[in-house]
Structure 1
Amino acid sequence: MPIVHSDRISGTIYAIATTAERAGNMAIDYLRDKSEGAEYNHYGVFDERETADKELYNKFGSFDTDRDRVYVISLDIRIADKK
């Protein structure tokens, strides 16, 4: 599910990376650029799992299936509930 911005940011994105830490950094960069209105090509970050899988296993691509994996990043950033 693509990321939706408002008073709440929720959704799921997929990153092709070698580690969870790298996938997290890629997701942060992706969200930062989207919030600033930048139109960057975020290599390795996708809105759909199927697209990420196709890119990872594309024999003409630059990803290494022995090293790289698809990581899922789920977001639910919202205003905190009052106690």
Structure 2
Amino acid sequence: MPIVHSDRISGTIYVIADNAETAGDQAIEYLRDKGDDREHNHYGVFDEREAADKELHNQYNSYDPKRDRVYAFSLDIRIADEK
């Protein structure tokens, strides 16, 4: 599900990285980029799992699951008073 900036941000993005810490950093940098022309691939971030898997296998021909994986990054950011 694409993430949209508003009073509430919720959804899941998929990040290609070699570890969870790097995936988190890439996702946060992607979310910080407020430009309308930001490119998912620049951050290794995708809205759909299938797109991330496809890019992982296309871009990294020597794909090694111990090195490069797709991480799911889920968000539910909302105003604290909302349920």
Distance, in Å, in 1 between the alignment partners of 2:21 and 2:32 is: 17
The 5 Å alignment of 1:31-50 reads: 31-33=31-33, 36-42=34-40, 43=42, 44-50=44-50
User: 1:39 Cα deviation (Å)?
Assistant: 2.0
Question: How many positions carry a matched residue from both structures?
Answer: 78
Unaligned runs of 5+ in 1: none
Partner of 1:54: 54
Deviation at 1:6, TM superposition (A): 1.4
Moved over 6 A (4+): none
Q: Match for 1:37: what amino acid?
A: G
Q: SS where residue 27 of structure 1 aligns?
A: helix
Greater percentage in helix = 2
Q: How does 1:11-22 map to 2 (within 5 A)?
A: 11-22=11-22
- In structure 1, what is the Cα distance between the partners aligned to 2:72 and 2:5? 18
Taking structure 1 as the reference length, what is the TM-score of the superposition?
0.83
TM-score w.r.t. length of structure 2: 0.83
